[in-house]
Amino acid sequence: MAGQNVLEFTDANFEAEVLQSSQPVLVDFWATWCAPCKALLPVIDSLADQYSGKVKVGKVNVDDNQNTPGQYGVRGIPTLILFKDGQVVDQLVGAVPKNQIEELISKAL
């Protein structure tokens, strides 16, 4: 399961938690059956701790929440999308190294 600083985003709370957030938000689109998603989990936990108070970090389970991934064209998982002021800043697809995700986050700070 995700660490204490990793939030759970759903179709129901996505607008309030992500699009209306005053902080940048890193969203991990994932599924329980996805091996690369599981491999990325410790990296996401680490980033959530590292950027606590600066960037919200959360996950959207694509099996339980199908509207939001569809809205953002998520076709493969894991997909990481960085939002700032309700807009997509950039995205990464696949189990990418932590430094690549840090570079992504730096675009919003």
CATH at residue 94? 3.40.30.10
Range of the domain at 52: 6-106
Task: State how many domains the chain has.
Answer: 1
The 10s digit of each residue's pLDDT in 10-42 is 999 999 999 999 999 999 999 999 999 999 999
Residue 3: pLDDT band (50, 70, 90) is confident
Asked if residue 2 has pLDDT above 80, the reply is no
Please choose, from the candidates 87, 11, 77, 10, the residue with its C-alpha nearest in 3D space to the C-alpha of residue 44. 77
Establish if 44 belongs to a structural domain: yes
Establish if 1 belongs to a structural domain: no
Q: Which residues are catalytic?
A: 34, 37
Q: Rounded distance, CA 75 to CA 77, Å?
A: 7
The 10s digit of each residue's pLDDT in 37-96 is 999 999 999 999 999 999 999 999 999 999 999 999 999 999 999 999 999 999 999 999
Q: Rounded distance, CA 1 to CA 107, Å?
A: 28
Establish if 17 belongs to a structural domain: yes
For the chain, state the CA radius of gyration: 12
